[in-house]
Amino acid sequence: MKKYSLILFVIMTQLSFAQNDSYLWLEDVENEKALNWVEEWNKKTLDVLTEHHDYEGIYNKNLEIYNSTDRIPEPTIFGNFIYNFWQDKEHKRGIWRRTTIESYLSKAPGWETILDIDDLSGKDNIKWVFKGASGLYSDYDKFLISLSKGGGDAVVIKEFDVQTKSFVENGFYIPEAKGNASWIDKNTLMVSTDFGDGVTTSGYPRQVKIWKRGTELKDAKLVFEGEKDNMGVWGYTIPTQDKTYQLIMRYMTFYTAQYYVLEKGKLVELELPDDIELAGIVNDMVILRLKSDWEVNDQFYKQGSVITAKYNDLLRGKPDFYLLVEPGERSSVAGLSSTKNMLLVNMLNNVKGELYAYKWDGSWRKQKINVPEPGNISLAASDENSDNFFFYFENFLEPATLYYGDAAAGEYNKVKSLPTFFPTKKYKVQQFETTSKDGTKIPYFVVGPKNMKPDGNNPTLLYAYGGFEVPELPSYSATTGTAWLEKGGVYVLANIRGGGEFGPKWHQAGLKANRQRVYDDFHAVAGDLVSRKITSPKKLGIFGGSNGGLLVGVAFTQRPDLYQAVVCAVPLLDMKRYNKLLAGASWMAEYGNPDIPEEWEYISKYSPYQNVKKGMNYPEVFFTTSTRDDRVHPGHARKMVAKMSDMGYKIYYFENIEGGHAAASTNEQRARMYALIFTYLQMKLMN
């Protein structure tokens, strides 16, 4: 009887919220009435922001930066070639191209265009967005090309021949879905997609099938099927010289998964903790990242560690585990990559990058690679046929520089640097700490003029994310430099909980019932900026996107006294319905389930859409989103704008028609979006 009463309570609560929400019609993305509403709001916002005296200059400079031929062509290695996707003023939707490794390392690489997305879009009358390519090991003469209609996560996958530079007639073709495919061999794929039997409640695949060339996709052999309420099921392969590993991941939630391998057609489950991450296989060693402490085989491994085991031993259920990395209190593993013989580990030490190379010879031998510092190291591409690899180094005031190195020798050389688009020598970077409400020390970076006066009068932009174990790291932004720092602004990056700056524990400290800690951290940083007289509430703006959009939405509804400007981009805001919109159900491991009364109890305390009130002194928020965002539903931003407008608040809203969760697909769209954002910030904080 008690269970029945609880279910009835949940149903009645859901009905009550649905009946009381007069803006539900805005969740119908393509509805004519909703699109007319979007068009009216876009016009109102553009009429104000594009007429501002700084808008045109910011837009033109942004476009110059995005279209600059001095940008670093991001490398991906397939066999003997470097592949790169490139957009500029002549190639608005972009070209996929390649060159030899030797040519790439020269001062003037000679590029061969493989696929022109502008031409393809014109022929198909579809605004295609390139979403990546997966090559057939080891000749890499065939690829699986992923294309999105307008930039969403859902993609069409088509087989492509790089020799003829054309899609293969009657080749592999997978209709639009949030799925993926991997090569087993030239005639066989492992496919995770919507096969017509439905997807999970999160909108992701729940089946993995083996598809043979010459057969229909619907006739592919089912090898695994998950549950409808799983987050999703994905299959993928790891090809090597000796064998092609075939793996399947069944994600029950965003942070828990079961791993399986296919061996001679037989499905074998690996005996591992649900919250472990299988990060790859190197020289037949399985690489595992621990999200919690684990005691196994009379050994204790700490949360955040990386351990390894031999593949065949793990398959038999009798593995010996070998410790690779055990991070300290203020360090974490930021990235892993492998070459032919080496495993590269990118470490964060108090939010500063370090790089190590490991080699297996019965135990793991460690070598530190003395990369530039202090700053952010990111692994770019590695060569499966040698120990060569690419990595980037950057920080707030040093543009990204690409290096090419030998992991075995621990040596590297500079390949190319971004130009300096603004006079970085005028500025300084400081790292501070403040104390959050529960006593936790929260670090943050401040970038500002060397002669900055602590008078509380500096226009300041505070950015953070605070979720999904994503670390926010020092990085160079030419657009922020030219449109904000050069105009007299100060930029702040906060390393609040929920992120991955200090490993899984930093993330898990802000999960579910503890979510308010994330927002307390953000308020604490804002308050500390005011206490240090770096800025004042009338000069403080905040910016966040996606989960960061939720962050700033909570910030201005909880502490409107602290903020003068808010940029709320592609946000989650209606936390009562987020799990029913697009991929929202997959994030319940992060936020909780609003349909469970005990969990809605804590979610309801911060959900911006439910907590916005009349008669408050809110800042004039600028909301942005994309019609084609199929990850975070545009209804979040739409409904918040409609609700606040009807309450009498002045706000700004811009919805880009395409772009997906990135809210932009071309350089012109990116230039416009950030011109609008920085024009708004200048208008609110500098004029």
Sheet with 221-225, strands from edge to edge, namely: 180-185, 188-192, 207-212, 221-225
> Kind and range of the H or E element at 643?
helix 635-646
Q: What token pair was written down for 507? A: 């993330």
Q: How many CB atoms lie within 10 A of CB 613?
A: 10
Classify 41 as helix, strand or coil.
helix
332 a catalytic residue: no
| For residue 374, cis peptide bond before it (omega within 30 degrees of 0) | yes
Helices 32-49 & 667-685, crossing angle to 10 degrees?
60
Per-residue exposure over 574-594, b if at least 16 CB sit within 10 Å of its own CB, e if not: bbbbbbbbbbbbbbbbbbbbb
The residues, any chain, with a CB within 8 Å of residue 332's CB and separated by 6 or more, are 304, 347, 348, 471, 500, 501, 502, 503, 506
> Kind and range of the H or E element at 676?
helix 667-685
Q: What token pair was written down for 447? A: 């970038």
661 a catalytic residue: yes
Q: How many CB atoms lie within 10 A of CB 279?
A: 18
The residues, any chain, with a CB within 8 Å of residue 573's CB and separated by 6 or more, are 549, 550, 553, 607, 608, 609, 636, 637, 639, 640
Catalytic residue among 331, 338, 477, 546: 546
Please tell me what DSSP assigns to residue 585.
Answer: G
E-strand stretches of 383-507: 388-394, 401-406, 411-417, 427-435, 441-449, 460-463, 490-494
CA atoms within 13 A on the CB side of 151: 21
First to last CA, the chain: 63
Q: Are 548 and 464 in contact (CB under 8 A)?
A: yes
Question: In angstroms, rounded to a whole number, what is the distance separating the alpha carbons of residues 622 and 167?
Answer: 42
Classify 42 as helix, strand or coil.
helix
Question: In the 3-class helix/strand/coil scheme, how is 188-211 assigned residue by residue?
Answer: EEEEECCCCCCCCCCCCCCEEEEE
Q: Which whole-number Å values give the CA distances from 96 to 175, 448, 493, in the listed order?
A: 21, 38, 33
* Residues that are catalytic: 546, 661
